[in-house]
Structure formats: structure tokens, C-alpha cells
Amino acid sequence: MKAFADLTVFVRAADAGSLSAAARALDISPAAASATIKRLEAELHTQLFVRSTRSLRLTLEGERFLAHAREALRAINDAEQALHGDQAQLRGQLQLSMPSDLGRSLILPWLDRFIAEHPHVQLRANLSDYFADVYRQPVDVALRYGPPPDSSLIALPLRPDNRRVLCASPQYLARHGAPEHPDRLVEHNCLRQMIRGEIHERWRLRRGEDDRTIRVQGDRVADDGHAVKQWALAGHGIAYKSWIDVSQEVLSGRLQVLCRDWRGEDAPLNLVCPDRRLLSPPVQRLREFLKQCCDELPAIPQ
């Protein structure tokens, strides 16, 4: 389908910010990619890109058209999947945003298995602790902890019982001892993380009716959850991490959970998207796969 091919070139060029990069990805010549965009602009009677010798950026009209182009490509792909039924192989590009630590520790290895089962799916992974704008950025779905900041987004649960735990390495505990109560955290070096632009330094834990919020301090702050875990593994202090992020290290003995009779803040893991209509067959299959993987993770030790 000519229209499908033209829209594909347009979306790839918008995502890459380069016609030559889009051409390489689609195995066509840069001249062919340029001719496609010019033809599309002529048909739409509008300029989609502002071109220079070094960059390619969308015009305002191009940004508006991009959202519709993505939806059209998804609709065509969904129709193709429906036409061939369950026997059809999953195809298309899957664009997924995820937290850095979760992505490196678990999701990327899981995605390797997913791609091995569905070799015609092309993966584009964005690892960042900043919440992706699923309306404007080239992202199909995002994996995120907690409720989405925008109530209009759809959150599909993957691990609703996940929560934060206090943890530290045996080396740190051998030097400084383990806090017997959350109030003793003020005596320790606590490894803090920037979350949505603010330092997460008020750690909340509860035991029955006893609810404590401790303002912690330490010599290290990072805007990357993976960096915080690496500091904890190196023995630099106590971290307050999602159980999913540290479960493998706890099971191997590289980290130990502290104050086990206290419950950390809830951190349910969700798959977030702007509209259920955007749940293409690859996304739906991915959700089922990730839900199964999450269900197989160990429970939080009591």
C-alpha cells in the first residue's frame, strides 16, 4: 500500500530527526525518502518538516499530523493481524519506555525472550526515570511505578502488590550495623533519588497504626535508580527501592532487606498508555507476557 509506505517513511523520519537515518532503517535510498516526504507534503498541501543541512524537525502542522499518522499505521497493522487471525505473526515496531533500574535489571532480559518468540517485532526501548509523554513522544506504552501523573492515562496493572523496601549490602551493615527502627535511619548514610525533579528524602514506612515519615540524609543523590542501586551494592549506604528492582540482589545475598516488620510505600507497577484503542496486538501480547513474568517474581520477604 503506497499510503502505508509513505506514512511509514514520515513517522520514521520524525522519530529519527533525519531522512538518511529513516532511509537506512527502511532500506531505501535517501533520495527516495526525500521524494516520499515531498510527495506527502504536496498531497497534504502543507509543510511537515523544517529542513537544514544538519537537522530535520517537525513543523507545528507536522506535529499534529504525526499523531494521526501513528494511529493510522497502528490501525492498518491491527487490521492485518485481524485478517490473518491467530496464525499471523506479530509484526511492527514496539516502542516502550521504562525506568532505568527496572529496565536494566529485568525488563531488557525479558524483552530478549519476547523478541525471540516474535522475531518480526522491532523493539525501541527508552530507559529513563522521567515519565515519558506518551502523547507527544514516540512511545506506544510506558512501564511506570505508581499511578500516572495524568488521570486521563490508562494504567494496566502488572504487579499491583509491589512496594518499596529498605536495603543495604552486607559490607555496609558490617561497618555501620542495621537500623532496628526507621527512626534510626537519621544515623545512617541514605542513598537518595531524584523523582520528577525533586529529591525523594522523606521515606515513609508503617507498622500497623504506626505511620512514620523519616527525613533522611546522605552524601549521594542521583536521578537514575540504577545508580542508587549500584551505590547500595558497593556498600555506600541504605537505599529505599522498589522490591522488583532489588529482588534478585536480595535473593543472591548481595543486598539485605531492613526493618522487615515495617511496610514501605506502595509502588504498583503499571503499563501506561493514552488510549485503549492504541493497544495494538504486539502491545497486548507484550502486556500478557510481562504480567506472567511479574507474577513469577518472588514475594517480598516478611
Over 60: is that where the pLDDT of 110 sits?
yes
Percent of the chain's residues with pLDDT above 90:
46
Distance CA(155)–CA(148), nearest Å, equals: 7
Averaged over 199-226, what is the pLDDT? 95
Averaged over 267-283, what is the pLDDT? 80
Spatial contact of 141 and 283, defined as CB atoms under 8 Å apart:
yes
∠ Cα 255 252 162 (to 5°): 65
Question: Facing residues of 145 across strands?
Answer: 269
Higher pLDDT, 141 or 113: 113
Residue 86 pLDDT class (50, 70, 90 cuts): very low
Q: What is the dihedral of CA 198, 199, 201, 206, to 10 degrees?
A: 50
Averaged over 82-106, what is the pLDDT? 76
Stated pTM of the model: 0.70
**Beta strands 92-98; 141-145: pairing state:** parallel
Q: Which of 89-98, 136-145, 249-258, 279-288 has the highest mean pLDDT?
A: 249-258
Q: Which of 6-20, 88-102, 259-273 has the highest mean pLDDT?
A: 259-273
Residue 30 pLDDT class (50, 70, 90 cuts): confident
Over 80: is that where the pLDDT of 155 sits?
yes
